[in-house]
Structure 1
Amino acid sequence: MVTILLERTVPLPLDEAWRRLTQWPRHGEVVPLTRVTVTTPPPTHVGTRFVARSGVGPLAFDDPMQVTVWEPPGEDTPGLCRLEKRGRVVTGWAEIEVRPGPGGRARVVWREELRVRLLPRLFDGVLERAARYVFGRALNRLLRQAPPLP
């Protein structure tokens, strides 16, 4: 099991940072070899489920997740989303927090606890470095690229 913490301060309003981070299919656009499919009707709420399918061919696996906390930000109040990972291969949780930062910017905090079944603890260091790299890169890309407006 590994735990990662990523933090970014971005020149975006809270609601825009939140929107960029919680459009689930976009995560598949920024994580290599991954496609994300939302399996419940919109809009996102507690109970929303989606699946990230990662890999190629027979080496692919599903990472099903469910939203267990959904508190969008207000004008000057933080927002929090918690996802529980419910897969056979990957378990754990992730939290995305968006809160007011310095100078009217948004402060983003991404916390994640990740377990990969059948991966010995000996590999936790490698898993942590890989997760920090992949999720850090994804976080940067999600925040930089504005999705189309609904």
Structure 2
Amino acid sequence: MSRRQQMMLQAMLRKAWWMWDDLGGFAVVAESVDASAISDVADVVALDRLVGTAVGEASVRTLEALCASGSIHGAAALLTLHHHRTVAARIAAAEHVLGFRHDPTGQVRLVAALALRRLRSGAHLIGDARNPMPSSHDQTFTR
């Protein structure tokens, strides 16, 4: 992965707002599912449990980097960690808490759970009558 690609992926992971077109199929979810329904999804509950652990936030950032980059080495580069063993250990610990492995099926589950968690965490849709104007701390989805 080039340095430019790494920088773009790092910026994406820190991004606090998203363009509506970036949501793809999740746009339907963003419009039709409320936070309480998302909170009942087993994989989101498992991510919440993971966040409650001592290394939870770092583990979630690692999982996001893994999904964004597609590999342990890529995730290590995004997180600016020299050793990919740290990333592999975080992923293994996260798999234990989540209850599923990061295989092709687990990748789909993980991406969905991470996206749902972001939506639940206060994402607002600009122009959506259900949501007031977002504060600067909210994740925002714009059309």
- TM interval, shorter chain, is under 0.3
Whichever structure has more strand as a proportion of its residues is 1
Whichever structure has more helix as a proportion of its residues is 2
